[in-house]
Amino acid sequence: MSRPTPLPPLADLLGDFLSGARTPAQLVDACFATIDRLDASLNALPTRVAREAVREAAERAGEAIRAGQPVGPLAGLPYAAKDTHRTAGLRTTFGSPLFADHVPEANDGIVQHLLGAGAILIGKSNVPEFAAGAQTFNTVLGTTANPHDPTRTCGGSTGGGAVAVATGMAAIACGSDLGGSLRNPASFCGVAGLRPSSVAAPELQADNDRFNTLNTVDGMAPRVADLRWIHQAIHAPMPPRPLAQWLAVIAEAQAARQAAARRPLRLAWSIDVGGSMPVAAPVRQAIEHALDRLRRHPGIELVEASPDLSAADECFQVLRARHFVDNFGAFYRSDRSRIKDTVVWNIEQGLALTPERIGTALAQRSAIFARFADFLTGFDAWLLPTAQVLPFAHSQPFPTEIDGKPLATYIDWVKSCYWVTVSGHPALSIPAGFASDPADPAGTALPVGLQLVGRYRGDADLLDVGERVEAILA
């Protein structure tokens, strides 16, 4: 199978809209043509907005742009919303049979922000049930396949969104990230995904605890420069302005970044976090190759080092279990038999928690944050694998071992992501290269993601570093 083809950079698409080289209506037509060609086998967007409605919205966007009217920074760009984010008048299933026919009356905050920025909703991206597990399948809408090898998983839980932007079904996708749900599928599908700094944002949270900072929301796109504008639209919406002005802002910001790119970078790295995290051999080799390319680049200093992540496992397991009780405990009591076994396991882990254990986990998280922040004072970012394994077969719900080392739980294979989650620091996954599964006779090249972790509240700086690293590895 040929490699998937994403849409051009967002700045180029917007420039085409302004010049008339392409219209928003032509772009959504192209997205629907890609959906028609690929989605029967990939199943990225099982729920879609009616084509007529999408095209009408695109035509309105095009008319506003041509008239020089104020528009949002994502005006006319097709957008895939995660199926755990409520969309007014459009089915939102959460991947659960309990919500198979659920049609919300209002948009979640993240959806409203992106629509307010001018993005055009084209469909809902598939997820695992209640976003639990980094393998996108559910009994309501089926399994989503990896666009590089449809026999394998696309990751999760924002799996459908990663496939949509990797293949050009949509220009942008939104998602959430508790233990890697934006980063893991970005790695598996060869795109960019951002988990922002853990900041309480009750206007964006759809969880029962709207002040929760373990679960965050952000975007996914083919490249880092695209993510910057999605991140801005979600977390710091700006008033509309004529598209020509937006393009001037984009050009000015890009020029400033290019000037700053001459500054040396000091990057810490670790492939297995001091031997404490198993990493499959093909992933290790791909990351080593990427590091070698960075090492040869002038102006980049690489230092092998890791922060102290003591107690990160216990901290995440406890706080994640509490999250499942908070959000799904009522369903467990009323419909336990209709919930998948791993969700039941998470809820039961949460029900068994004591106040003392929860309090200890909260204290551990504070200590991890402080150690992490201290570690990063000496570096521009910390580099490690996004995922510890290559995309695996759909027939395997989750890995049970890595290179012969048994895993204790169904989420142990995403430690590389959830250890960063509990630190509260922003993390970005970008494509690092490709590797083949030794057990695959075809030797299919599968994406490997490099995770960059930045300073707390330094999300924009992390994106700057990400663009520079991305350019070297591209």
Task: Decide if domain 263-319+321-473 falls under CATH 3.90.1300.10.
Answer: yes
Identity of the residue numbered 349 = Q
Per-residue pLDDT, averaged over 348-366, amounts to 98
Domains 10-250 and 263-319+321-473 fall in the same CATH topology: yes
Task: Decide if domain 10-250 falls under CATH 3.20.20.100.
Answer: no
Q: Which of 157, 176, 187, 270 is catalytic?
A: 157
Structural domain spans, the chain: 10-250, 263-319+321-473
Does the active-site annotation cover 423? no
For residues 129 and 169, is the Cβ–Cβ distance under 8 A?
Answer: no
Q: Which of 181, 197, 416, 423 is catalytic?
A: 181
Cross-strand pairs, 193 = 220, 429
Question: pLDDT tens digit string along 245-283?
Answer: 999 999 999 998 888 888 999 999 999 999 999 999 999
Task: Count CB neighbours of 213 within 10 A.
Answer: 16
**What pLDDT, on a 0 to 100 scale, did the predictor assign at position 260?**
82
Question: pLDDT tens digit string along 287-308?
Answer: 999 999 999 999 999 999 999 9
Does the active-site annotation cover 82? yes
Question: pLDDT tens digit string along 71-123?
Answer: 999 999 999 999 999 999 999 999 999 999 999 999 999 999 999 999 999 99
Residue 2 has pLDDT above 90, yes or no: no
Does the active-site annotation cover 96? no
Residue 56 has pLDDT above 80, yes or no: yes
